[in-house]
Structure 1
Amino acid sequence: MKINLINWRLIVRFTLNFILHQILMFLFVSLPAIFYIVVLKQPEKLFFVNLTTVLIIAAYLLYCLFYGYYVARPMADILVKIRKLSNGEYLIPTNKKRFRSPSSRLYREVYANLEALSATLQESERKRLEFEQLRQDWAAGVTHDLKTPLSYISGYSDILLSDEHEWSAHEKKEFVQLIKDKSAHMEELINDLGIAFRMDQNIGIKLSSQRIELGELIRRVVAETANMPSDKNNSFEIVGGEEPIYVMGDAGLLKRAFSNLLVNAVVHNPAGTAITVQMHNITHVEIQVMDNGKGMDEHSSNHLFDRYYRGTSTDVPTGGTGLGMAIVKQIITAHQGTVDVKSTTGHGTVITIRL
């Protein structure tokens, strides 16, 4: 609506200016004829008529020059600014009132829109560069995370194939088990990549619609996470969910989303962190995953669900792809839900999902 009002204001302004200029031009051109008609019966005044005609023509020429300057000069300035924007040179916005000639004020809406466009393009470029940096950091981290288990697989395979040593059956079983575990880890990383990209493009992922008892699903996920091999001795608690909570959706994907949330709370927090899952079912289903861990700063909170954001330096092995939380948001969004995060450094994190 605001854009339409601006368009109408521009149309009315330019129309009124055009009419006014045409009236003035008509008066300037008509004056010599009026003088001739008035003084035809008085030849002695012909000199003054000729002089007046010359003056009027000169004034008309000056008027044309002024009109051209009035209209063309700011238009040339606008074209220069557009050319700068096309070359990636952004205009510097300022809140101070700058002196502008009356001709520039004719195009003040155009100048305002150019500055707004410049600010939008500049912000888009900033986000693009930030995203590109995240992508590069993510690529470095995922390469590291894939290379580590691959080196185990390659190393233990060489050991088993070596003829220099004789290994006992128990040792061979340990080596094969290590190879299997690392292969499963690599498969999980690759599956994360596949799920994220297929859901982002809405291909290859079919959401099944089934009636799910959410409380039971979450209890299973919490039990699986609590029984993961870990030396952190984290505590888990479930609050609410005594009454059945039913939702429609894909049980496999919802299980993956809650599993990612809980594993993330374990991996990125110190030993002994208390993790609580709280469930409510009033006007909508609300699940909160809370921990009393190290929390996050504002930057990490704002980018937690961004693809490729890992939250740690690429020098630190996270064991993840940086897609886990992005997958959570994609799954919840696909179920017409929302996911939010509140966190403060040193005071834990609360992630709220509403379905």
Structure 2
Amino acid sequence: MKWKLTRRFLGSVVTIVVIVGIVNIIILVCLLLYHFKTQEESVETFSRGFSRYIKLQDGNPIVNEEGLKILEKKKAWIQILNGKGEQVASYHTPESLQAAYTPAEIVQMYKYREIDAETTVFVGEAHDFSYFVGIKDRGIGRYVFSYNYVHIIKYLNIILLLFLTVDIMIALVIGFLFGKKLTSPLHILIEGIQQLRERRFKKMAIPKGVYEDVFHNMNELSVKLDEFEKERDKLDRMREEWISNVSHDMKTPLASIHGYAELLKDGAANLTPQELFEYTAIINRQAIYMKDLLDDLNLTMRLRNQQLPLQFQEVDLVVFIRELMIEFLNDSPYADRQIELEANVNKALHPVDKKLMKRAILNFIYNALVHNEEDVVVTIRIDALHPSLDHEKKSSNMASSQGFHTSITIADNGYGIPAKDVAQVFDRYYRGTNTSNTHGTGLGMAIARDIILAHHGNIELSSIENKGTTITILL
């Protein structure tokens, strides 16, 4: 493709140059011929037409007054000869001019500048007399030459061939350079389009000139396509992960539902009402679990892939958490549990999605209650993170709290988490090793962590076995 474009432009340039060269040569030749013809005819016409100023007087030729004035004006002279080549009259002739001529001398006089280098002699005839007209002018010349048509045509062909060869060589050189300069950006552009077709999104260097805007647009297109490709890959991974998670997580409840359904189908007549109730309750519980699992899987996948639009609104976290605790203690089966709130700041305004933030904080509180004894104490503390922290505290917390304004701490004095399990707390399905409680889908902590991250926050966890666990939310 590169050389095809180069040849196309090169052919156009060569054709134009050749045509222009031929036309220029033709015009030049025509102008030269016209110039010589006009120049020659003007002097020859004057010389030959001067006979009208020559009159006969008593059989002798004389030049009338008008003719003499014209000779003076043109700085010319005239010599009139009889049939023997002898001078019978003369006007304004130079002193060195001879008075008689042989036929050969007459021819010599006409062909060459015999008088001086500035005078050209022309021949005319009047009343059976011949005459020489000499005009002294460097701008006037006459060349007499003999030629052979065959030789002239041969030499003209050689000259024309030489001109064409030189012009074509020049055109090839100029055309090649011009074509290369013109087609190089096009070749780069074609390669860029080829890369886009092969899903290789690479920016191209932008050359100066007429193609600059084209390259800018191509680079912008490449960036956009790269973004779309990454987004598509992300969605593909998300779909594959979703399918994998769903298929994995549904196996256990489906197996349970399938087993009890088979039992009911094969032995329903032999089962007591109590057994029927228990089996159908298990199937119902597993179906509800599957529904909750699907909802949680969908939520965590959308959160991790930033596909869930958050409904942000300005919220005072102090008021928000106080109302959340009142609602939790009034309506839940944990109304008699010990939950304390310490607000070390009067107001903490943050843009949050109230529904999701409520779920995250309740998840942390719920885990502190469900994985410990009933007398566990859960403390929720709200603090403002000030830049003016003392040096020691600032040094220890700088890495974790820099850029955040508020911290929410949820601490308990329960069993704590073994050191080997701390790193797995936010993994899917983690339920710990210090409790037999298996209620829930096992995605609560993972979802809560993803909600905090979706709010551009951070979360930290520390735990000491048999002393308790502390979760710090930074916003």
TM-score, scaled to structure 2: 0.39
**Which of 1 and 2 has greater Rg?**
2
The structure with the largest strand share of the pair is 2
Q: Which gives a bigger RCO, structure 1 or 2 (Cα 8 Å, sep 6+)?
A: 1
